[in-house]
């Protein structure tokens, strides 16, 4: 039984009103300050195209590539997509693309291929690029990487409330279950590990057919995905996740016809900002640029 | 009694225990296989895949991403996964979780009780795309990969057939009888004996300050009495001493400011209270008034 004087309880959270009271994994102090320098404001591109998902549900590759390129040029204020990629990556980089293979809603292969192609066009050597998810800890490209791209679909998640860009890096640790406490609030801690910190140059939250509610052991029903037809692109994963979370919450409210909070609450997004300094989660620190299809945008 | 005699008794007891364990395990596996063999190969036009997949408490992680820990927290023995498909329609996935005991089958069922009550198995619930129920030591989940009227009909039919193949029903844990009836939100009942499950439904602390373990029973429930709401947790320990230790630790870590009645005002204005009675630790996690918190404590025996 615990007799630690540093036990953190629900009351600590009520007292402080947010995530500030939580410590990291064992050994971290009760309150730690964000140790990473964050940008004052994070630019987030939300881009949509109503035709990227056909009525039959199939993904239209060329349209997806178009919206990816538009997002990239806008986020970096450059004239074309190639310049954007060259701005973020140089020919000497070794790039791991952290994808997500979750069966019902994986990162689309078309998007993975588009990212690989654009890296090659920017001058990165083919052999210095790899795409992986569950094997990243043993992947030589990831183990020697100088840069990372983080790409995954947004979905609700049993333990963390949302399967986010922040959450996508849990495969970098050997014991993911250690992060499941209090709705995976300490996920931001992973981003400060030496082998990861400051390596992520690009984050893409796939909003083509997000999952806004999960049921059953497999946490999936086709009833709870919808053709949103978008991508959220940012160099700041926290800001991208914060925007995505708002859209999911709005969809839940619309679908259930009442306020139906994401459960459990995705506390890890705010914690990644306030506790671990990974990025910005507050709307006043996010420059959201909406592009393309506006109907039912939900934000 | 002589030492040699004692050793002989000990030796034969061990042998008898081992044989009994092996027989129980074998009987469990046999009935699981019997159930598997009795399942329909076809249902309303859907056809079962050639082979079922069977997972144990370790390999379940290969099958269920994330939530596998929930099943392990309820002592999963094995899981049978069968996929039914049809040419033009969504696949239907039948998962039968052998939890080893009715209390664990009921417990894992209470992890998610959303949806509408349906007359399938014990306490059947249906929400879009997913049917769940428990019966005896089994928890059954049937979901369709896409919701259609035909698939829903097949899911319900399959559920009824599976339930009929499990002859025995299970009793709910006796601890539930301790819950006061007045204002009880039955759909909110969670039965558990693992801290990770308690923290999922109601976060208490980052450490296991209540000493929840496989040897404890716990039930969590919400109440609505008029305009007043409350959350109640009752934990039953294997003995009074363990309950006393847990109570002491809970007061120290969670209610250090409790008054002489064991009641404290929380930071959000609600009231919490705890009282140990023999093997039981009764905790009002939150109540709108001090009187309501006190009333819960005194009404449970």
Q: Does B58 touch chain A (CB under 8 A)?
A: no
pLDDT digits (tens, 9 = 90+) for B111-152: 999 899 999 999 999 998 899 999 999 999 999 988 899 999
User: Token digits for A118?
Assistant: 């654009």
pLDDT digits (tens, 9 = 90+) for B81-109: 999 999 999 999 999 999 999 999 999 99
For chain A positions 216-235, those within 8 Å of chain B (CB to CB) are 216-224
CB atoms under 10 Å from CB of B189, counted, come to: 17
pLDDT digits (tens, 9 = 90+) for A22-67: 333 333 333 344 445 677 899 999 999 999 999 878 999 999 999 9
Confidence of residue B3 (pLDDT cuts 50, 70, 90): low
Strand partners, B222: B231
Contact B114 A221 (CB under 8 A): no
Alpha-carbon gap: B20 to the closest alpha carbon of chain A (Å)? 33
Would you tell me the crossing angle of helices A81-88 and A109-121 to the nearest 10 degrees?
80
* Facing B67 at nearest CB: one of A15, A219, A221: A219
Q: Do residues B79 and B98 make contact, with C-beta atoms less than 8 angstroms apart?
A: yes
Q: State ipTM.
A: 0.74
3-state secondary structure (DSSP) of residue B119: coil
Looking at residue A16, its pLDDT comes to 63
3-state secondary structure (DSSP) of residue A138: helix
Sign of torsion, CA A121 A123 A125 A129?
negative
End-to-end CA distance of chain B: give it in Å, rounded: 42
- Give contacts of B199 with chain A, Cβ < 8 Å: 181-182
Helix (H) or strand (E) holding A250: helix A237-256
CA distance A66 to A46: 14
CA distance A150 to A168: 8
Question: Which residues have a Cβ under 8 Å from the Cβ of B38 and sit 6 or more positions away?
Answer: B165
Residue of B nearest to A12 (CA): B267
User: Token digits for B181?
Assistant: 């009836």
Q: Does B127 touch chain A (CB under 8 A)?
A: yes
User: Token digits for B10?
Assistant: 């000990």
Please state the rounded mean pLDDT for residues A92-119: 97
CA distance A188 to A184: 9
Sign of torsion, CA A100 A106 A107 A111?
positive
Contact A3 B252 (CB under 8 A): yes
Alpha-carbon gap: A60 to the closest alpha carbon of chain B (Å)? 21
Which residue, among B57, B58, B61, B66, would best test binding to A if mutated, counting the most A CBs under 10 Å from its CB?
B66
Q: What is the DSSP string of A182-212?
A: HHHGGGGGGGGSTTTTT-EEEEEEEEEEEE-
Helices (H), B55-142: 60-63, 68-73, 102-109
Confidence of residue A21 (pLDDT cuts 50, 70, 90): very low
Residue for token pair 């033009």: B88
User: Token digits for A48?
Assistant: 């949509």
Ordered by start, the domain boundaries in chain A are 34-292
Confidence of residue B10 (pLDDT cuts 50, 70, 90): low
Q: To the nearest whole number, what is the mean pLDDT of chain B?
A: 91
DSSP-derived secondary structure letter, A9: B
Q: Do residues B108 and B57 make contact, with C-beta atoms less than 8 angstroms apart?
A: no
Looking at residue A190, its pLDDT comes to 96
Contact B65 A224 (CB under 8 A): no
Strand partners, A46: A232, A290
| Backbone angles phi and psi of A175, in degrees to 5 | -125, 75
Query: Is pLDDT above 50 for A125?
Result: yes
3-state secondary structure (DSSP) of residue B169: coil
**Among A238, A217, A226, CA closest to A168:** A238
* Residues counted in chain A: 299
Looking at residue B206, its pLDDT comes to 79
**The Cα angle at residue A108 between residues A223 and B112, in degrees rounded to 5:** 35
**The Cα angle at residue B124 between residues B119 and B128, in degrees rounded to 5:** 105
Strand A95-98, strand A129-132: pairing: parallel
Q: Do residues A202 and A235 make contact, with C-beta atoms less than 8 angstroms apart?
A: yes
> Could you give all domains of chain B from N- to C-terminal order, each with its CATH number?
34-165 (3.40.1000), 174-299 (no CATH)
User: Token digits for A220?
Assistant: 């999936």
CATH annotation of A34-292: 3.40.50
CB atoms under 10 Å from CB of A252, counted, come to: 19
CA distance A43 to A239: 8
What secondary structure, in 3-state letters, does A62-127 show? HHHHHHHHHHHHHHHCCCCHHHHHHHHCCCCCCEEEECCCCCCCCCCHHHHHHHHHHHHHCCCCHH
CA distance A273 to B267: 24
Looking at residue A33, its pLDDT comes to 41
Please state the rounded mean pLDDT for residues A129-146: 97
CA distance B283 to B50: 50
Contact B249 A182 (CB under 8 A): no
Q: What's this model's pTM, rounded to 2 decimal places?
A: 0.80
Please state the rounded mean pLDDT for residues B265-281: 96
CA distance B24 to B2: 33
- Give contacts of A11 with chain B, Cβ < 8 Å: 254, 266-267
* Facing A223 at nearest CB: one of B95, B147, B204: B147
User: Token digits for A123?
Assistant: 């001058």
pLDDT digits (tens, 9 = 90+) for A215-244: 889 898 888 999 999 999 999 999 999 999
Question: Which residues have a Cβ under 8 Å from the Cβ of A272 and sit 6 or more positions away?
Answer: A166, A187, A188, A191, A237, A238, A241, A278, A279, A281
Contact B129 A223 (CB under 8 A): yes
């Amino acid at each position: 039984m615990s007799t630690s004087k540093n036990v953190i309880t629900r009351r600590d959270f009520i007292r402080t009103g947010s995530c500030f009271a939580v410590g990291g994994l064992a050994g971290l102090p009760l309150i730690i300050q964000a140790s990473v320098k964050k940008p004052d404001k994070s630019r987030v591109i939300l881009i949509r195209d109503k035709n990227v998902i056909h009525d039959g549900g199939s993904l239209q590759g060329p349209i997806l590539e178009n919206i990816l390129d538009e997002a990239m040029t806008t986020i970096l204020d450059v004239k074309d997509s190639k310049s954007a990629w060259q701005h973020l990556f140089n020919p000497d980089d070794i790039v791991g693309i952290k994808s997500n293979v979750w069966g019902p809603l994986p990162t689309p292969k078309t998007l993975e291929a588009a990212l690989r192609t654009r890296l090659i066009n920017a001058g990165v050597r083919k052999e210095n690029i790899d795409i992986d998810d569950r094997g990243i800890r043993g992947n030589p490209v990831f183990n020697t990487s100088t840069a990372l791209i983080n790409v995954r679909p947004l979905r609700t998640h049993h333990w963390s409330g949302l399967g986010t860009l922040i959450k996508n890096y849990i495969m970098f640790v050997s014991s993911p279950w250690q992060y499941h406490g209090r709705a995976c609030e300490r996920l931001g801690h992973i981003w400060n590990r030496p082998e990861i910190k400051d390596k992520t140059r690009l984050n893409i939250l796939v909003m083509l057919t997000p999952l806004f509610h999960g049921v059953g052991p497999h946490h999936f029903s086709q009833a709870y995905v919808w053709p949103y037809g978008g991508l959220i692109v940012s160099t700041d994963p926290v800001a991208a996740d914060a925007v995505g979370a708002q859209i999911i919450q709005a969809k839940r409210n619309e679908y259930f016809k009442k306020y139906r909070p994401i459960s459990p609450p995705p506390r890890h997004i705010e914690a990644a900002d306030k506790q671990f300094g990974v990025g910005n989660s507050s709307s006043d620190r996010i420059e959201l640029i909406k592009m393309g299809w506006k109907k039912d945008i939900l934000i | 009694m002589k030492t040699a005699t004692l050793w002989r008794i000990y030796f034969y007891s061990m042998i008898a225990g081992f044989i009994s364990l092996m027989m129980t395990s074998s009987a469990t596996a046999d009935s699981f296989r019997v159930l598997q063999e009795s399942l329909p190969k076809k249902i309303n036009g859907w056809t079962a895949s050639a082979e079922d997949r069977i997972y144990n408490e370790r390999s379940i992680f290969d099958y269920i991403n994330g939530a596998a820990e929930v099943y392990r927290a309820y002592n999963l023995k094995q899981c049978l996964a069968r996929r039914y498909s049809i040419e033009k329609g969504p696949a239907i996935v039948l998962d039968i979780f052998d939890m080893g005991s009715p209390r664990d089958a009921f417990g894992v069922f209470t992890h998610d009780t959303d949806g509408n009550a349906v007359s399938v198995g014990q306490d059947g619930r249906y929400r879009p795309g997913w049917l769940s129920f428990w019966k005896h030591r089994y928890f059954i989940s049937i979901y369709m990969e896409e919701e259609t009227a035909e698939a829903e009909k097949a899911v319900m039919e399959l559920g009824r057939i599976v339930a009929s193949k499990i002859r025995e029903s299970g009793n709910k844990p006796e601890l539930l009888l301790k819950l006061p009836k007045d204002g009880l939100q039955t759909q909110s009942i969670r039965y558990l004996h693992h801290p990770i499950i308690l923290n999922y439904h109601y976060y208490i602390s980052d450490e296991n300050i209540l000493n929840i373990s496989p040897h404890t029973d716990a039930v969590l429930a919400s109440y609505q009495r008029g305009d007043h709401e409350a959350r109640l947790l009752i934990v039953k320990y294997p003995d009074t001493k363990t309950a006393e230790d847990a109570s002491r630790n809970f007061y120290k870590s969670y209610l250090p400011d409790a008054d002489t009645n064991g009641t404290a005002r929380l930071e959000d204005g609600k009231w919490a209270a705890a009282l140990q009675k023999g093997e039981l630790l009764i905790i009002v996690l939150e109540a709108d008034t001090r009187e309501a918190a006190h009333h819960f404590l005194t009404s449970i025996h």
